[in-house]
Structure 1
Amino acid sequence: MKPELSLFYSLEVAERAVRFPPKARRLLLIGIDALLLPLAVWLSFWLRLAHPFHPNFQSAGLWLLPAVLLVGLPLYAFTGQYKGLTRYVGSRVVYRLAGRNGLFVLLLAATGLMLRLPMPPRSSWILLWLLLTGFTGVVRFALRDLLLSLRSVSQRQMMRVAIYGAGEAGAQLAAALRLAGNHQIITFLDDAPSLWRRTINDIPIRPPQVLSEIQDQVDQVLLAIPSLPRSERRRIVAELQRQAIPVLQIPSVDDLTSGRARIDALRPVAIEDLLGRDPVPPVPELLGPGLRDVVVCVTGAGGSIGSELCRQILQLSPRVLILLESSEPSLYAVETELRQQLPASVELFPVLGSAADPALVQRTFAGHGVQTVFHAAAYKHVPLVEANPLAGLANNMGSTRVVCQAAVASGVTELVLNSTDKAVRPTNVMGASKRLAELVVQASALELSQIPQSAGQPRTRFAMVRFGNVLGSSGSVVPLFRKQIAAGGPITLTHPEIIRYFMTIPEAAQLVLQAATLAEGGDVFLLDMGEPVRIKDLAEQMVRLSGLSLRNAHNPNGDIEIVCTGLRPGEKLYEELLIEAESQTTDHPLIFRATERSIHPRDLWPRLDQLEEALKIQNKEKSLEILSELVPEWKKAQ
């Protein structure tokens, strides 16, 4: 027979065996037990008396052989021996078999004593129990392995994988993949020398360096160390990528412990998982108490940062959460999502409108008794604001002034402005408008501090938080690069040497929430961002994580090309987080406070009135002239 026909018939046989009806499988197990029970009785006599047909067996065996069938099979059926799925048999089955067979042997012995029947030697009862447990256990494990192997054969195409990590997660992943039947585990890889040359279920554990020798035998590497620090994950993935083998990883510890994902829910390694530093954990004391049973308003609630703020605020049990958003689709999306996880003790109010509308903001704050405001509403896309500077100024500065005025008038306890590192020595209108928004917050704090506080009258605490680039947010390079890779390239990069600081969306939201607790008045808070990342390196790594290759002079047949288009108007090669102030430590080891240069309210407010008049009549020249006077760092960069 030809090899192709032999393979075809073996696959057909495997598929039929896997599809064997459940009732037929139970009958098969009952038939096997019907053979094993008498066999165990006979062997127990033989082993104990050293003779296959000892006279004692001929007398006691006459009633024991039929009794084991009449008592054993009904007992097995009644106690659930035939209800379990054979392919999922595990160690617990052995313990249940041992208990079930112990009960069975006791029933047989009691029957013989009560009926005064010929009895075998007492030690043969122990042998009978051991033999029954061994036989029934071995048969079930053998059938399980046979079913799994037949299922694997019926899959026709198995993925050959190496599991990186020989710890508990790696062992659990191997067990899950074995049950799934569509992966063949070639080896475990681990950095610990103490594990090398050992095995897990007969699968060898080897050092990662051997991957270069067996890369032709491996289709994928599965990273199974959920608690691995990002710095280590980055190193490991970089080493694996040199072998040009796709890398998948198991879910995070949080996803596994919360039940949101299974151990075998494999996913590609995301660039967020390879951020150049480990995420900064929040200090619990700075998160929870300040927002419990409080009325909170988030402006720009439908944006990437605003929506994440809302998700995390819900977990801190506020009394009321108000979503202020000017985009109807964004407001609908975030409200729908939040209502699915809304605690019974929290009220949710969506407000459709602009944060630059004084009447709407004042009515919202006063009508709901707002106590804490997170101002995340802003235009932040540098090229769009550069092309539409008046809209950027009106929204970023105007909304901040309106929100600050309404907060003071309504007795809001604290207000936190989401700012950006582009506000530091800005070279574009967006950054300058955000710096102007910071000046509004600083002037509001200074003006309020000079007014005598009435007894029992709350005073608004103002604070600002500066972010680096937020991975995955609207306007971030990461989603842009993902779309360009999905389209087959090229990836457009403004400059090969451009660098940026990065943080994740949850980190950004946690920083804002903690700043609300740390705020004293007019503070600027920033996060220790670690080392900056070169955007070109980020793009190259995203290409490799997608399982593709770079097209360049060294590899003209690669998949994705990176094209440098030149710096955009107002774009800098690098960003900063401080202008001229020195940072101070806070209660969080990696969050710092600064108090920077500000403009006195008596000087700032008249100029902002003039700016608003110029914006109303769309006087671009006058508007930008006032902006350059108020933010001289931007003027110098023009």
Structure 2
Amino acid sequence: MNQLTKSAADLIARGSGALIALPRGLKQAVMLSLDVALLPVALALSLAIQTGERPRLGSYVLEVEALAMLMLVAGLLSYAMGLHRIQLKAYEIHAMRLTGVHAIVIAGVTAILDGVTGYATPPSTFIVFAMIYFILGASCRLLLLQVVLGAYRRGNDQLRVVIYGAGRTGQQLAAAFTTDMTIKPIAFVDDNANLQSTIVQGLRVHSPLVLPRLMEEKRADRVLLAMPSVPRSQLTLISRRLSDLGIDVLALPSFAQLAGSGAPLVSQLRPVAPGTLLGRAPLDAELPGGSAAYQGRSVLVSGGGGSIGSELCRQLLVCRPRRVVIVESSELALYQITMELEALVEGTQVEIVSILGSVCDAALMRRVLRENAVEIVLHAAAYKHVPIVQRNPIPGFQNNVIGTQTLAQAAMETGVARFILVSTDKAVRPRNLMGASKRLAELVVQDLARRARDSGAPTVYSMVRFGNVLGSSGSVIPLFTQQIRRGGPITVTDREVTRYFMTIPEAARLVLAAGSFAEGGEVFVLDMGEPISIYALARQLVESANLTVKDESNPDGDIEIRFTGLRPGEKLHEELLIGTGQVTTPHPKIMLAREGALSEIEVAAAIKALRAAIAEADDDALRAVVSRYVEGGAGLLQPKAELALS
């Protein structure tokens, strides 16, 4: 008996596999033929039900010629209504209505022909016929759908999931999963006690308290969060609680995004958004945008094609400026951000001006500032990748220091109202040349701020310093994600290493907010909460990718986390402040750092020596400048130190 059952299952699998392999046109022909072939079956059954006897020739509806005519009409009507074009996985209520209309129309045609020819078939026969024809048509399609899905699923590993959230989104997701070949929903979990123990979309709703047991009993692989209306901070708490129980947690895009994407559902599973990795509530909604400071103004964004610069451009549009001037040295990056912004400002009065060039070009910067009547400069152009600048200090300092001095000086000469420098926590007692270049850039801007105050120049200079930006180019998340896709290992310098993190929207809003209430020479920092363990972040990314960490406790895991050791110039823990004190600002999450500065003579000497070192391409002379004028720079004298990404 078991052998017979196995043989039948194999036969069905081969048959459904052959159906799947058919070209689209042949599949449609099969469905059209199904509607035609079911007609005589439905007629025979309806007559048998009405008379209680075996149907036989004699009534009009069972004459061969009449049957042929009705089958032709059924086929033509099915073709006209497009029933054959409805995919099995899309066969739902609307498609069932079409099948019902088709059955009713055919039954009506049958009754008319029967009456015209004088046969006295009872009217109830045609009602029963319509019902049976509809039931057969719909049932055969649903049965075929299950056969096809079974064939697909036998060839794919299904992800068994518990959906956390039995509300509207969860129900829509469960319905979407019913026709997916790679995901199988097995239960709901919901905090709402009124929903618990009920049946939703054919699945039982359970309490979160039984999740560990439920995952084991149902052999579930993952929990999907389907609660778009829940605050992000609460989602983070839920995710952490489940992770602590050893349960893998994933989030899904909104149902609208799922419906509009052609990608398989399983490929759209993603970890909770980068902002949830912060360990705190994101601040982008709390930071004041300073819209009034930018409304109706002409604003220049240097490095406008980069991660921070492009987000600054996007958020500026909300402030309704008169003009956004984008300065970018990468033609591709400039093209991409220009196309994006021009689409966003279509139908508005905002003008987008694209400038391909370097901030080191003094003549170009002065001309751009004058011709576009620039009132505010957001200076985000910089070489930021630590190992690249470490191995290429001359172009790094040329861009980061001389470029800043050139653009900032041009801003003063052309009467720009505000100049905001985007800086980094690596400028605080730097251990690498990239950080040193950013600290020297800060000192240059501080000097210009002092000179502007003393001379009565209208330009207000300020600086914004923040930590690592989640999701920006070269940050750890894209790097770790790429390493995970390659199958590992993930490289972390030290198990204890920590970093401050913020999201790209947070960084951009901080720059805009700081620029709105700067008075001159300030260094603004964001209260970013506690620093984040890079090792813990790596583990979370592995688990969010539906994989496990390979270590001593789990030697059969998927991705290894390998420790490479701290390299010269890399700190175990980053800092945000050089001084010991900080002052509050109009917003409680933004702090004002109290830090020392070089004298005007020292800055002039540093820039002169730096320009000479750059002109001679003398790395040692450049390091000597850093050693003399940057706090902690003496440790950077060793040539060509190899640094890891930090």
TM-score interval for Structure 1 and Structure 2 normalised by the shorter chain? 0.7 to 0.9
- Structure-to-structure mapping, 1:123-134, within 5 angstroms: none
For residues 147 and 431 of structure 1, the distance between their equivalents in structure 2, rounded to whole angstroms, comes to: 64
- After superposing the two structures, state which structure 1 stretch, 493-502 or 431-440, moved more: 431-440
TM-superposed deviation, 1:612? 3.4
**How many corresponding residue pairs?**
608
In the other structure, the counterpart of 1:524 is 523
Q: Does 1:538 align with 2:541?
A: no
Change (3 A) 1:16 1:154: same
For residues 301 and 613 of structure 1, the distance between their equivalents in structure 2, rounded to whole angstroms, comes to: 26
* One of 247, 252, 260 as aligned partner of 1:250: 252
- After superposing the two structures, state which structure 1 stretch, 287-296 or 255-264, moved more: 255-264
Deviations 1:203-246 (A, max 9, x none): 2223422344236x335544433455555545555566678776
* Letter in structure 2 aligned against 1:151: V
In the other structure, the counterpart of 2:307 is 304
Change (3 A) 1:104 1:620: closer
Deviations 1:512-562 (A, max 9, x none): 233333434333333331232111212222333344443434344544443
For residues 46 and 293 of structure 2, the distance between their equivalents in structure 1, rounded to whole angstroms, comes to: 70
Change (3 A) 1:15 1:570: closer
TM-superposed deviation, 1:504? 2.2
TM-superposed deviation, 1:148? 2.1
Change (3 A) 1:566 1:611: same
In the other structure, the counterpart of 2:568 is 569
* Letter in structure 2 aligned against 1:474: S
In the other structure, the counterpart of 1:10 is 12
For residues 79 and 432 of structure 2, the distance between their equivalents in structure 1, rounded to whole angstroms, comes to: 79
- After superposing the two structures, state which structure 1 stretch, 4-13 or 606-615, moved more: 606-615
When normalised by structure 2's length, the TM-score is 0.76
Q: Does 1:494 align with 2:482?
A: no
Q: Does 1:213 align with 2:216?
A: yes
For residues 318 and 506 of structure 1, the distance between their equivalents in structure 2, rounded to whole angstroms, comes to: 18
Change (3 A) 1:74 1:609: closer
- Gaps in structure 1 of 5+ consecutive residues: 54-65, 109-117, 454-458
TM-superposed deviation, 1:92? 5.0
- After superposing the two structures, state which structure 1 stretch, 396-405 or 253-262, moved more: 253-262
For residues 257 and 13 of structure 1, the distance between their equivalents in structure 2, rounded to whole angstroms, comes to: 30
* Letter in structure 2 aligned against 1:584: T
Deviations 1:96-152 (A, max 9, x none): 8999999999999xxxxxxxxx9x9xxx99x999x8997677556534432321221
In the other structure, the counterpart of 2:184 is 184
Q: Does 1:204 align with 2:204?
A: yes
Change (3 A) 1:438 1:134: farther
Change (3 A) 1:255 1:289: farther
In the other structure, the counterpart of 2:402 is 398
- After superposing the two structures, state which structure 1 stretch, 21-30 or 375-384, moved more: 21-30
In the other structure, the counterpart of 1:85 is 86
In the other structure, the counterpart of 2:172 is 172
Change (3 A) 1:546 1:15: closer
TM-superposed deviation, 1:421? 1.4
Identical counterparts, % of pairs = 36
In the other structure, the counterpart of 1:474 is 473
TM-superposed deviation, 1:501? 1.2
In the other structure, the counterpart of 1:279 is 282
Q: Does 1:25 align with 2:39?
A: no
- After superposing the two structures, state which structure 1 stretch, 25-34 or 366-375, moved more: 25-34
- Structure-to-structure mapping, 1:302-451, within 5 angstroms: 302-313=305-316, 318=321, 320-326=323-329, 330-336=330-336, 338-339=338-339, 342-343=342-343, 344=346, 348-451=352-455
Change (3 A) 1:132 1:236: farther
For residues 508 and 253 of structure 1, the distance between their equivalents in structure 2, rounded to whole angstroms, comes to: 29
* One of 150, 155, 158 as aligned partner of 1:157: 155
* Letter in structure 1 aligned against 2:514: A
Deviations 1:464-484 (A, max 9, x none): 221211123333223333344
In the other structure, the counterpart of 1:58 is none
Change (3 A) 1:31 1:292: farther
TM-superposed deviation, 1:335? 1.1
- After superposing the two structures, state which structure 1 stretch, 405-414 or 542-551, moved more: 542-551
* One of 261, 264, 268 as aligned partner of 1:266: 268
Q: Secondary structure at the match of 1:173?
A: helix
Change (3 A) 1:198 1:325: same
For residues 322 and 407 of structure 1, the distance between their equivalents in structure 2, rounded to whole angstroms, comes to: 14
* Letter in structure 2 aligned against 1:442: Q
Deviations 1:391-442 (A, max 9, x none): 4443322211111111121222322211111223434443233223223223
For residues 86 and 550 of structure 1, the distance between their equivalents in structure 2, rounded to whole angstroms, comes to: 41
In the other structure, the counterpart of 1:147 is 144
* Letter in structure 1 aligned against 2:544: L
For residues 418 and 603 of structure 1, the distance between their equivalents in structure 2, rounded to whole angstroms, comes to: 24
* Letter in structure 1 aligned against 2:536: D
* Letter in structure 2 aligned against 1:409: E
- Structure-to-structure mapping, 1:626-637, within 5 angstroms: 626-628=625-627, 630-632=629-631, 634=633
TM-superposed deviation, 1:340? 5.3
Q: Is the CA contact 1:383–1:569 (under 8 Å) kept in the aligned structure 2?
A: no
Deviations 1:239-296 (A, max 9, x none): 6667877655321589569989997762332672641233323469726555455443
Change (3 A) 1:37 1:292: farther
* Letter in structure 1 aligned against 2:270: P
Q: Secondary structure at the match of 1:507?
A: helix
* Letter in structure 1 aligned against 2:307: S
Change (3 A) 1:219 1:213: closer
For residues 136 and 341 of structure 1, the distance between their equivalents in structure 2, rounded to whole angstroms, comes to: 56
Change (3 A) 1:34 1:168: farther
For residues 499 and 437 of structure 1, the distance between their equivalents in structure 2, rounded to whole angstroms, comes to: 25
**RMSD between aligned residues:** 4.9
Q: Secondary structure at the match of 1:307?
A: helix
TM-superposed deviation, 1:79? 10
Change (3 A) 1:164 1:524: farther
For residues 154 and 488 of structure 1, the distance between their equivalents in structure 2, rounded to whole angstroms, comes to: 29
Q: Is the CA contact 1:157–1:182 (under 8 Å) kept in the aligned structure 2?
A: no
Q: Secondary structure at the match of 1:277?
A: coil
- Gaps in structure 2 of 5+ consecutive residues: 54-65, 111-119, 638-646
For residues 76 and 388 of structure 1, the distance between their equivalents in structure 2, rounded to whole angstroms, comes to: 74
- After superposing the two structures, state which structure 1 stretch, 531-540 or 185-194, moved more: 185-194
Q: Secondary structure at the match of 1:204?
A: strand
* Letter in structure 2 aligned against 1:171: Q
Change (3 A) 1:474 1:90: closer
Q: Secondary structure at the match of 1:576?
A: coil
Q: Secondary structure at the match of 2:582?
A: coil
Q: Is the CA contact 1:163–1:170 (under 8 Å) kept in the aligned structure 2?
A: no
- Structure-to-structure mapping, 1:43-62, within 5 angstroms: none
* Letter in structure 1 aligned against 2:401: M
For residues 593 and 182 of structure 2, the distance between their equivalents in structure 1, rounded to whole angstroms, comes to: 59
Q: Is the CA contact 1:468–1:502 (under 8 Å) kept in the aligned structure 2?
A: yes
Change (3 A) 1:422 1:182: closer
Q: Secondary structure at the match of 1:529?
A: coil
For residues 142 and 181 of structure 2, the distance between their equivalents in structure 1, rounded to whole angstroms, comes to: 11
Change (3 A) 1:425 1:552: same
Deviations 1:568-588 (A, max 9, x none): 22322222323334232435x
Change (3 A) 1:95 1:514: farther
- After superposing the two structures, state which structure 1 stretch, 231-240 or 140-149, moved more: 231-240
* Letter in structure 1 aligned against 2:15: V
For residues 492 and 575 of structure 1, the distance between their equivalents in structure 2, rounded to whole angstroms, comes to: 19
Q: Secondary structure at the match of 1:361?
A: helix
TM-superposed deviation, 1:10? 0.6
In the other structure, the counterpart of 1:606 is 604
In the other structure, the counterpart of 1:462 is 461
